[in-house]
């Protein structure tokens, strides 16, 4: 089946630093999504990407849909303590009237003040 690879499992950065996270797959996806999950909460959608090559920003976050449609990255600039959490990528494939969303296992981000 389809799998999304996110690594490393954990990242530790200093407040104010930029960080980049990748998500790769051997399969092609039509849509890439990035979610953030805080402890005890459900994932919250950060950015959605719909077209190969698309680059989209949401405040300090920037994400790109890879040209091959098999990867995406998320950049966080000037990190702050509230950026701590688990970041998931998700890819969607549409087949006919249905679509299926597959999630990566997530990267836990820690920000040292």
Interface map 45-84 toward another protein (x if CB under 8 A): x--x------------------------------------
What gap in Å lies between CA 111 and CA 102, rounded to an integer?
27
What gap in Å lies between CA 30 and CA 28, rounded to an integer?
7
Among 44, 55, 67, 80, binds another protein (CB under 8 A): 44
Q: Cα separations (Å) of 96 from 30, 99, 100?
A: 13, 8, 11
Is 22 near another protein (CB under 8 A)? no
Please report, as ranges, the residues that interact with another protein according to CB under 8 A: 31, 33, 35, 40-45, 48, 88, 92, 94, 97-106
């Amino acid at each position: 089946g389809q799998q999304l690879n996110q690594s490393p499992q954990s990242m530790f950065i200093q407040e104010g630093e930029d960080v980049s996270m990748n998500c790769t797959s051997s399969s092609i996806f039509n849509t890439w999504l990035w979610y953030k999950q805080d402890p005890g909460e459900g994932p919250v959608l950060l950015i959605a990407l719909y077209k190969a090559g698309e680059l989209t920003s949401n405040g300090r976050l920037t994400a790109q849909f890879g040209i091959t449609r098999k990867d995406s990255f998320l950049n966080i600039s000037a990190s702050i303590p509230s950026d701590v959490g688990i970041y998931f990528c998700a890819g969607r494939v549409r087949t006919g009237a249905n679509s299926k969303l597959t999630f990566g296992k997530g990267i836990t981000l820690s920000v040292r003040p």
